[in-house]
Structure 1
Amino acid sequence: MEISLVSFVFPTFLLFFFFLLLFKRRSTPTPPNYAPLKGYPVVGNIPYLIKNSHRILDWSAQLIPLSPTGTVTVAPFVFTADPANVEHVTKTRFANYHKPEPIIAAISDCLGRGLATTNGAEWRIHRKAATNEFSTASLRAFAYESACRTLTAQLLPLLLRVSRSGEVLDLTDALERFAFDHTCSLVFGEGAGCLGGEEGCEGDRFFCAFETAARLCVERAKQPFTLVWRIKKWLRVGSERRLLEAMEIVHAYVDRRMRRRPAADSSGWRDDLISRFTAGGHSEEFVRDNLISFVLAGRDTTPSALTWFFWVLSSRPDVVAQIREEIERIRSGRRQGETLLTQDDLKQMNYLQAAISETLRLYPPVPLVPRECLEDDELPDGARVLRGWVVMYNAHAMGRREALWGRDCEEYRPERWLEEGVFRPRSSSVYPAFNAGARACVGKEVAHLLMKVVGASVLEKFDVEVVEASGRRRLLMAMKMEGGLQVKLKQRRA
């Protein structure tokens, strides 16, 4: 999945364009785009952008409906919720729209030069390697088996213990640790053991160091001058020192796992990603950087989606009842003694798939995706984009756009995804929850598999009561719920 650092790339772009406005006059006239705000003399839209930089997702979602085309220009930014524009930027003219360099500079010390931090020819090499592996049925089967092991050995016992004690659980933290363990198992062949493990153990240190590194990269990206954090990095002081120490723990853990990979099976083959990438003849740095990117994506996006899923369902007992009826119907045709749902079972769960997709429509983990324009261009709806401007397509606004989803677009209604009871997917240009075009998430199928097996297993075994939840969005590497999701659990009768 894409990494969400949108709100933190603003300061760098704003300063760049402030100096551009002061010292350079463009020969190209300002394009006649739909602009709901009247710019100030000399400084243009910079005051608006600074004022709303902390709430760029909500602000852009408020501006977009004002435009008849779903595209608004607040130069040097173009916000859009037009599917044709999304396809243009992500597919038709993909080569003209790169991931902004300020984002790459801010996170590269954490993620290296992998799939999430490259453009152009270098990115295509990483993309091809990742696509080759994630497209295989054997990897999806391995991901399912890994999810089942982590679920039965760690997450479900934790939830059972909490249900019996009556204590309040931060479900977001539990889901993040579960997803982290599962992703480590998928990547390294063994889980990190940070869910239910002892505090301070190797896996817990890795989890905490990874979280620290990601948070410090976000804080780094907030700074208006990259020179500030670069000097601190050179001096090894403050937050840059803590980032360096955290990444030393992360790299040491990954390097140890690369050296002590689990033994291959009788055929000499391992299904985990580290074995697959190593067998591909890639360098150690190439393998390490991509593995770290996969761990980050798995740690943040899937648990974020599941948090919103359980939060929404806490006020929709009718949807929960239908999911449980679907599970019972599928189980009725199976042999007794089989406990976990199989991959074939999950494929038949059309209503669960619809409920998850409806959650992602309203609460996409990466709600706002920026792309920097390399050469002057025109979007399909007629909006002009000048070189150096940033186009942002707003998946959050698209999910709430009446022209795309009907008058009930604000309503949570899984049935909109079903035709005669069968799940029908939508184009990624209309529903870019997993990004769209060439940069569409390579782990989409694995993410869906994980969300379905966790959603079905938890709802089948427990009643989930939300005790405290802000319901407010917080943009970090993914769109999280501020303060987490505090719940109480009650075990259901078999």
Structure 2
Amino acid sequence: MIIDVLELGKSCTNTDKSLRRLNLVSKAKQAHFDNLCDWYTHLLKKSPTGSIRIHVLRNIVTADPENVQHILKSRFENYPKGKPFSVLLGDLLGQGIFNVDGDSWTFQRKMASLELGSVSIRMHAFGIVESEIRSRLIPLLSSASGNQRVLDLQDVFRRFSFDNICKFSFGFDPGCLEFSLPVSEFAEAFDLASKLSAQRGLAASSLIWKAKRVLNLGSEKELKQAITMVDEFAQRMINQRREMGFSDKHDLLSRFMRTIDDDKYLRDIVVSFILAGRDTVASGLTSFFWLLSQHPKVESTIREELERVVPSCDDRPFVTFDQMREMHYLHAAVCESLRLFPPVQFDSKFAQDDDVLPDCTFVRKGTRVTYHPYAMGRMERVWGSNCLEFNPERWLKNGRYMPENPYKYPVFQAGLRVCLGKEMALAEMKCVVLAIVSRFNIRVADPNRKPIFAPGLTATVRGGLPIFVQERGA
């Protein structure tokens, strides 16, 4: 398939002769780029404005921070998620917060903000994470230490985060990270539903998957079966909460049930949070430890900071939330990892009306407009000449973490749709990093192998991340 890409020049007029037309054959593209996101990065770097138009997909892709601010803040009302997106993921996410616009989004956003912003819910989440680390993650890694057993660290993190988000969302423990690494039917169904929902977006036309859905064929038949299992599980959790009572429970489902009595609505909300809270954290941790394996100096600096903030010997106690706030280098390292490998590599909106972006790109009504955090992290015009380096120091000033403009760093979105779970996700990642680097040396089995991402809603490394574990001091 030939994709016709029009690189956008700097002029606002149609007479700008600097516009160049590129005919790019997908097979040639695949020969040079293992990841689709790297191909987009290549095109965006070549564009004078950092924006490109992919005509056949009616898609404008941008890596310009001013455009991102325009989309996510200045003209927020003109760039909703849009019907094409909600239809694509509607069978899985239904009317959940990540799949709706307008009044439904506003209502859920207010509710979620109220619940997730409370100190009690954050401490509840922190306790869940600490318990999972102490009782499962550390024993599992210890069991693999020193015996040349290869672990897929991505699989470990996906199991870890799935246990955590299910406890947090439902008050249910699927036990995915138990010693035997058991198979969870719910986790498998959820994974399959997420994967197949994302694959709908890769179809040459939406008519293809819609026809397969009507006829109940192939991947659409599999998707329907997987979603049925997710629905049955969610309904079981809701029924149990009603039987047991939910007024004194801390999980997200119980909190929402105090206000909402519609079972389908409850199911959609909680499933959306599982999708967001599970895959993004696992993706971020996987990329972090791959980068750490390439940069031992960063690893040793994190350990030095830990010793300075929490001086102790073996059997180190778990770091408190307040102590973790004093670890500026750790926070910088996590943010730097997410800059280079954002769990959500790109995000799209659909223009409700004609518009012009700050770089003078004309946007016709109904056009898909995509901002690309993965590419933005690799743009010299955004991050400077060392943009490809893993350099936590870029976030520090006099040893203290300094946040960046969120539209330059839209890893957690920005503006009105900024991720409500951002602080909890960062805290969870930092808890895991500290627990592992203080006790273990993690070495990637093939250090020369670069991440190749599988198609999906989040950045998942194809083939996982095989590692060897050695306890420190052993």
In the superposition, the TM-score normalised over structure 2's length comes to: 0.89
CA deviations over 1:61-99 (Å, ceiling 9, x no partner):
112223333223344332222111101101110111122
Distance 2:411 2:16 in 1: 27
Distance 1:474 1:375 in 2: 34
Structure 1 residue aligned with 2:206: 226
Structure 2 residue aligned with 1:286: 265
Structure 1 residue aligned with 2:421: 443
Structure 1 residue aligned with 2:248: 269
Structure 2 residue aligned with 1:7: none
Structure 1 residue aligned with 2:239: 259
Structure 1 residue aligned with 2:276: 297
Which range moves more in the overlay, 169-178 or 472-481? 472-481
Q: Is the Cα contact below 8 Å between 1:313 and 1:319 reproduced in 2?
A: yes
Residues 1:408 and 1:227: Cα distance change in structure 2 (over 3 Å)? closer
CA shift, 1:216, in A, is 1.6
CA RMSD, 1 decimal: 2.8
Matching of residue 391 in structure 1 with residue 369 in structure 2:
yes
Distance 2:457 2:133 in 1: 24
CA shift, 1:36, in A, is 5.2
CA shift, 1:237, in A, is 3.2
CA deviations over 1:31-75 (Å, ceiling 9, x no partner):
568985427xxxxx8x76898699652232112223333223344
User: What letter is aligned with 1:179?
Assistant: S
Structure 2 residue aligned with 1:365: 343
CA deviations over 1:91-120 (Å, ceiling 9, x no partner):
110111122433322221111111111122
Residues 1:466 and 1:49: Cα distance change in structure 2 (over 3 Å)? closer
Structure 2 residue aligned with 1:93: 75
Q: Is the Cα contact below 8 Å between 1:36 and 1:63 reproduced in 2?
A: no
Which range moves more in the overlay, 176-185 or 439-448? 439-448
Distance 1:55 1:467 in 2: 21
In the superposition, the TM-score normalised over structure 1's length comes to: 0.86
Matching of residue 317 in structure 1 with residue 300 in structure 2:
no
Q: Is the Cα contact below 8 Å between 1:371 and 1:390 reproduced in 2?
A: yes
Distance 1:462 1:55 in 2: 31
Residues 1:474 and 1:246: Cα distance change in structure 2 (over 3 Å)? closer
Matching of residue 306 in structure 1 with residue 289 in structure 2:
no
CA deviations over 1:325-384 (Å, ceiling 9, x no partner):
11111222x799762111112111111100000001111111211121111111122221
User: What letter is aligned with 1:480?
Assistant: T
CA deviations over 1:244-285 (Å, ceiling 9, x no partner):
2211221111111222239679xx532210111111235222
Matching of residue 135 in structure 1 with residue 113 in structure 2:
no
CA deviations over 1:387-418 (Å, ceiling 9, x no partner):
12222111112112223322211111101111
CA deviations over 1:411-442 (Å, ceiling 9, x no partner):
11101111111111112101011112222111
Which range moves more in the overlay, 423-432 or 251-260? 251-260
Residues 1:263 and 1:95: Cα distance change in structure 2 (over 3 Å)? same
Structure 2 residue aligned with 1:26: none
Aligned to 1:412, which of 375, 385, 390?
390
User: What letter is aligned with 1:215?
Assistant: K
- Specify every segment of 5 or more residues in structure 2 that has no aligned partner in the other structure, as ranges: 5-11
User: What letter is aligned with 1:346?
Assistant: M
Matching of residue 238 in structure 1 with residue 221 in structure 2:
no
Structure 1 residue aligned with 2:7: none
Structure 2 residue aligned with 1:400: 378
Residues 1:132 and 1:153: Cα distance change in structure 2 (over 3 Å)? same
Say which SS state the counterpart of residue 250 (structure 2) adopts: coil
Distance 2:79 2:352 in 1: 6
Residues 1:358 and 1:388: Cα distance change in structure 2 (over 3 Å)? same
- Specify every segment of 5 or more residues in structure 1 that has no aligned partner in the other structure, as ranges: 1-9, 16-28, 40-44
Q: Is the Cα contact below 8 Å between 1:33 and 1:72 reproduced in 2?
A: no
Matching of residue 83 in structure 1 with residue 65 in structure 2:
yes
